[in-house]
């Protein structure tokens, strides 16, 4: 390795050769770097802040005399008793699981099918209309979905199921699952569509050349090639359903119970957090502190799902050049 | 179809399965569109209650002018709209500069390597953290000042603004990074070759050509901030008056919708539906603007 040859007089430093730099410019140039660095630092500090706040406050919760960690993680009851309150996480976990599972049944197949349609079947003109429409749907705030569940979905469920002798409660997990499912469809379809479209044309053309039909190309060539991305989008959608708050609060209510009946009210972790803040729990009480422990569990679950989705995307990606 | 199809005759089962699957995919795609129409129709019907369009507009005008009340005929969203506009301004002033700055740092200044990958992963994770967790963060850090009374802001407008700003920050960063990546490096090299400093290159050349993408991301993140309810509930947005300063207690449009929607009196459902119409009108306009900007200016850079 030889140093690059410089034709200029070695006694003159390179900086002085160029006289176009004003002092103002130099100040800008030196200050802007640290400023931008500070901006980037904010994102790291945010993560640290979330972990620290949730960690310390949850620790304080577990230190309280009326609280036991075992009872929190394995208890099946939440009771607001002034003498010996019970804080069992399991009913909340169950509620969250029901919503995540139920909404996945709605969102994952529909989202995937619509992604396949947009990337493989749709004529270009139609696609350029449908994609923005789905994006608009993704921009509808969750409170609107919650209101819609109360206004429309639950009454329709009542009218359909009550003649069959099933009792539908005003707050029920089925209608919450339906609206949360519809809510995450745009997310599944747009993320999956991105990876499906990224599968190289050559693969499709080779399959067509061998006499495959469009259906066979879509399901046996394109989908397997994009499987890692599709799986990653599924996991992200589940994570989104786990963290969903307002639609669930309005549609599924706040009754913590472990039940298989989707027509009764349940309580998710997010709904519990909202209920505690809006309730009459005084600051510093065990009930108030419990929201941080529940928040920490929620954060941990979504974090694991998000990391998992990233891993799936990177580890199992088929690389084409 | 191409002429070669005439010679191609797959088995009947294969011939049928394909179109059936295609139709299923089409129907699945349409669920979104159908749902959007049902949603708008149902809310519109709930708000108008069979009244004419002009009367519905009158109702919306009345809702926008009156503040929160226990009487459904007098109730409205004035305080919520004012609060949401304040929050919009705050998020714009706080999250957009910091988010864009962070993205420029990551894309233009930071050398690729392990540290950058870690920060990148961190931002991707932050973008997927549930909004209610940001609410808890805002509650602990901004509202209660981590337990010290000097740092505590209470349920003030600025606490809500900071919380929402942190919430949308990762969205701004990711959108800006994507926009910066579409700028060809030849542009940077050309400017550098003419003697521009690094910051001049970014300010005068890279940033302007990435601007449509940055704008789209900024608008989408602002519309996300406007629609958020859960973090504001955590921060304690429950005022009934129009805020006049950053230290005032506040409320926001979606929070008021939530409060009205959970009232038992069915007459409040009309009020809630009217509020949703106001919110959706604002949001759909913002999002449509963002999509149009991207489709008009973004295409050439992408291809």
List pLDDT tens digits, range B248-277: 888 899 999 998 888 878 888 888 888 898
* Of the candidates B105, B103, B63, B96, the residue with the CA atom closest to the CA atom of residue B80: B63
Low-confidence winner among B77-86, B217-226, B237-246 (lowest mean pLDDT): B237-246
Confidence of residue B303 (pLDDT cuts 50, 70, 90): very low
Q: Does B283 touch chain A (CB under 8 A)?
A: yes
pLDDT of residue A296: 94
- At B89-119, the pLDDT tens digits run 999 999 999 999 999 999 988 888 899 989 9
Distance between CA atoms of A66 and A85, rounded to whole angstroms? 7
pLDDT of residue A18: 54
Distance between CA atoms of A221 and A151, rounded to whole angstroms? 43
- At A54-86, the pLDDT tens digits run 999 999 888 888 777 888 888 778 777 666 777
> What is the pLDDT averaged over residues B30-42?
85
> Is the pLDDT confidence value at B245 over 90?
no
Confidence of residue B302 (pLDDT cuts 50, 70, 90): very low
* B70 against A201, higher pLDDT: A201
> What is the pLDDT averaged over residues A98-122?
93
Residue B38 lies inside a defined structural domain of this protein: no
pLDDT of residue A12: 56
Q: Does B41 touch chain A (CB under 8 A)?
A: no
> Is the pLDDT confidence value at B78 over 70?
yes
| Helix/strand/coil (H/E/C) assignment for every residue in chain A | CCCCCCCCCCCCCHHHHCCCCCHHHHHHHHHHHHHHHHHHHHHHHHHHHHHHHHHHHHHHHHHCCCCCHHHHHHCCCEECCCCCCEECCHHHHHHHHHHHHHHHHHHHHHHHHHHHHHHHHCCHHHHHHHHHHHHHHHCCCHHHHHHHHHHHHHHHHHHHHHHHCCCCCCCCHHHHHHHHHHHHHHHHHHHHHHHHHHCCHHHHHHHHHCCCCHHHHHHHHHHHHCHHHHHHHHHHHHHHHHHCCHHHHHHHCCCCCCCCCCCCCCCCHHHHHHHHHHCCCCCCCHHHHHHHHHHHHHHHHHHHHHHHHHHHHHHCCCCCC
- At A189-233, the pLDDT tens digits run 999 998 999 899 999 999 999 988 888 899 999 999 999 999 999
Question: Please, what is the average pLDDT of chain A?
Answer: 85
Q: Does B152 touch chain A (CB under 8 A)?
A: no
Q: Does A239 touch chain B (CB under 8 A)?
A: yes
Residue B44 lies inside a defined structural domain of this protein: no
Residue A53 lies inside a defined structural domain of this protein: no
Residue A303 lies inside a defined structural domain of this protein: yes
* A306 against B6, higher pLDDT: A306
CA angle A227, A94, A299 (to 5 degrees): 65
pLDDT of residue A72: 82
Cβ contacts of A139 on chain B, cutoff 8 Å: 220, 223-224, 227, 283-284, 286-287
- ipTM comes to 0.86
Confidence of residue B301 (pLDDT cuts 50, 70, 90): very low
Residue A25 lies inside a defined structural domain of this protein: no
Domain that holds residue B120: 79-250
pLDDT of residue A315: 77
Cβ contacts of B288 on chain A, cutoff 8 Å: 132, 136
Domain that holds residue A102: 86-315
pLDDT of residue B147: 73
pLDDT of residue A13: 59
The CATH number covering residue A166 comes to: 1.10.3720.10
pLDDT of residue A240: 92
Distance between CA atoms of A245 and B131, rounded to whole angstroms? 8
Q: What are phi and psi of B209, to 5 degrees?
A: -80, -15
Choose the most confident range, by mean pLDDT, from A13-22, A79-88, B163-172, B214-223.
Answer: B163-172
Distance between CA atoms of A268 and A285, rounded to whole angstroms? 21
pLDDT > 70: percent of chain B: 94
Residue B96 lies inside a defined structural domain of this protein: yes
CA angle B235, A139, A244 (to 5 degrees): 50
Q: Does B3 touch chain A (CB under 8 A)?
A: no
Residue B65 lies inside a defined structural domain of this protein: no
Report the number of distinct structural domains present in chain B: 1
Q: What are phi and psi of A87, to 5 degrees?
A: -125, 85
CB contact under 8 A, B284 and A109: no
CB contact under 8 A, A139 and B287: yes
pLDDT of residue A314: 82
For residue A165, the distance in angstroms to the closest alpha carbon of chain B comes to 26
CB contact under 8 A, A151 and B43: yes
pLDDT of residue A2: 46
Q: A273-306: string of b/e by CB count within 10 Å (b at 16+)?
A: bbbbbbeebeeeeebbbbbbbbbbbbbebbbebb
> What is the pLDDT averaged over residues A107-123?
92
Q: Does A303 touch chain B (CB under 8 A)?
A: yes
pLDDT of residue B5: 55
- At A279-290, the pLDDT tens digits run 777 777 888 888
- The beta-carbon neighbor of A116 closest among B10, B25, B38 is B25
Which conformational region is residue A78 in: left (phi greater than 0), alpha (psi within -120 to 50 degrees), or beta? beta
Q: Does A71 touch chain B (CB under 8 A)?
A: no
Cβ contacts of A122 on chain B, cutoff 8 Å: 29
Confidence of residue A321 (pLDDT cuts 50, 70, 90): low
Residue A67 lies inside a defined structural domain of this protein: no
Strands A86-87 and A78-79: antiparallel
> What is the pLDDT averaged over residues B165-190?
93
The answer for residues whose C-beta is within 8 angstroms of residue A2's C-beta and 6 or more apart is: none
Residue A178 lies inside a defined structural domain of this protein: yes
Confidence of residue A6 (pLDDT cuts 50, 70, 90): very low
pLDDT of residue A45: 94
User: Which residue in the block uniquely carries the two structure tokens 């569940």?
Assistant: A149
β-partners of residue A87 are A78
User: Which residue in the block uniquely carries the two structure tokens 């429409």?
Assistant: A133
Report the number of distinct structural domains present in chain A: 1
Distance between CA atoms of B298 and B303, rounded to whole angstroms? 9
> Is the pLDDT confidence value at B192 over 80?
yes
Residue B182 lies inside a defined structural domain of this protein: yes
Q: Does A36 touch chain B (CB under 8 A)?
A: yes
The answer for residues whose C-beta is within 8 angstroms of residue A302's C-beta and 6 or more apart is: A239, A242, A243, B128, B129, B130, B133
Confidence of residue B300 (pLDDT cuts 50, 70, 90): very low
pLDDT of residue B89: 93
- At A133-176, the pLDDT tens digits run 888 888 889 999 999 888 888 888 888 888 888 888 888 899 99
Residue B121 lies inside a defined structural domain of this protein: yes
Q: How far apart are the first and last CA of chain A?
A: 32
* Of the candidates B165, B81, B42, the residue with the CA atom closest to the CA atom of residue A148: B42
Low-confidence winner among B146-155, B164-173, B205-214 (lowest mean pLDDT): B146-155
Residue A133 lies inside a defined structural domain of this protein: yes
The CATH number covering residue B206 comes to: 1.10.3720.10
- At B13-33, the pLDDT tens digits run 777 888 888 899 999 988 888
> Is the pLDDT confidence value at B177 over 90?
yes
Confidence of residue A19 (pLDDT cuts 50, 70, 90): low
Residue of B nearest to A310 (CA): B121
Residue A48 lies inside a defined structural domain of this protein: no
């Amino acid at each position: 390795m030889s140093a690059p040859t410089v034709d200029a007089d070695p006694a003159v430093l390179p900086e002085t050769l160029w006289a176009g730099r004003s002092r103002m410019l130099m100040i800008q140039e030196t200050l802007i770097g640290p400023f931008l660095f500070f901006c980037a630092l904010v994102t790291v500090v945010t993560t640290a802040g979330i972990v620290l706040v949730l960690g310390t406050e949850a620790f304080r919760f577990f230190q309280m005399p009326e609280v036991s960690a075992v009872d929190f993680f394995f208890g099946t009851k939440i009771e607001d008793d002034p003498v010996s309150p019970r804080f069992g996480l399991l009913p909340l976990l169950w509620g969250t699981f029901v919503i995540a599972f139920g909404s996945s049944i709605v969102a994952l197949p529909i989202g995937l099918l619509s992604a396949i349609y947009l990337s493989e079947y749709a004529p270009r003109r139609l696609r350029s209309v449908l994609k923005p429409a789905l994006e608009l749907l993704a921009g509808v705030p969750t409170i609107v979905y919650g209101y819609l569940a109360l206004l429309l979905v639950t009454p329709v469920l009542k009218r359909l199921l009550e003649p069959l002798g099933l009792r539908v409660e005003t707050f029920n997990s089925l209608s919450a699952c339906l609206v949360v499912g519809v809510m995450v469809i745009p997310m599944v379809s747009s993320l999956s569509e991105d990876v499906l479209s990224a599968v190289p044309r050559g693969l499709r053309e080779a399959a067509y050349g061998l006499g495959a039909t469009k259906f066979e190309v879509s399901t046996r060539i394109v989908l397997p090639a994009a499987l890692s991305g599709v799986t990653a989008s599924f996991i992200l959608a589940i994570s989104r359903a786990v963290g969903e708050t307002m639609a669930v609060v309005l549609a599924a209510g706040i009754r913590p119970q472990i039940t298989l009946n989707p027509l009764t009210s349940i309580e998710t972790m997010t709904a519990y957090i909202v209920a505690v803040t809006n309730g009459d729990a005084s600051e510093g009480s065990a009930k108030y502190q419990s929201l941080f422990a529940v928040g920490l569990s929620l954060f941990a679950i979504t974090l694991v799902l998000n990391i998992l989705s990233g891993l799936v995307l990177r580890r199992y990606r088929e690389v084409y050049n | 179809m191409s002429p070669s199809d005439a010679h191609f005759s797959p088995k009947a089962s294969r011939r049928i399965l394909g179109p059936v699957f295609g139709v299923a995919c089409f129907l699945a795609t349409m669920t979104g569109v159908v749902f959007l129409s049902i949603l708008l129709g149902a809310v519109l019907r709930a708000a108008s209650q069979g009244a004419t369009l002009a009367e519905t507009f009158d109702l919306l005008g009345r809702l926008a002018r009156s503040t929160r009340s226990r009487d459904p005929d007098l109730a409205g969203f004035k305080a919520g709209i004012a609060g949401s506009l304040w929050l919009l301004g705050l998020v714009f002033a706080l999250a957009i500069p910091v988010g864009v700055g962070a993205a420029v740092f990551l894309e233009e200044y930071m050398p690729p390597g392990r540290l950058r990958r870690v920060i990148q992963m961190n931002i991707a994770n932050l973008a997927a953290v549930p909004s209610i967790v940001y609410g808890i963060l805002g509650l602990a850090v901004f509202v209660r000042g981590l337990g010290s009374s000097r740092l505590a802001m209470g349920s003030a407008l600025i606490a809500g603004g900071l919380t929402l700003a942190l919430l949308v920050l990762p969205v701004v960063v990711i959108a800006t990074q994507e926009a910066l990546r579409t700028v060809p490096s030849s542009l940077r090299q050309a400017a550098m070759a003419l003697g521009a400093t690094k910051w001049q290159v970014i300010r005068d050349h890279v940033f302007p050509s990435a601007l449509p993408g940055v704008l789209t991301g900024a608008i989408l993140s602002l519309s996300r901030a406007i629609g958020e309810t859960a973090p504001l509930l955590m921060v304690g947005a429950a005022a009934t008056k129009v805020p006049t300063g950053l230290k005032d207690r506040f409320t926001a449009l979606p929070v008021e919708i939530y409060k009205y929607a959970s009232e038992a009196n069915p007459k409040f459902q009309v009020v809630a539906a009217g509020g949703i119409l106001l919110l959706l009108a604002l949001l759909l306009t913002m999002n449509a603007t963002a999509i149009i900007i991207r489709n008009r200016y973004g295409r050439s850079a992408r291809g």
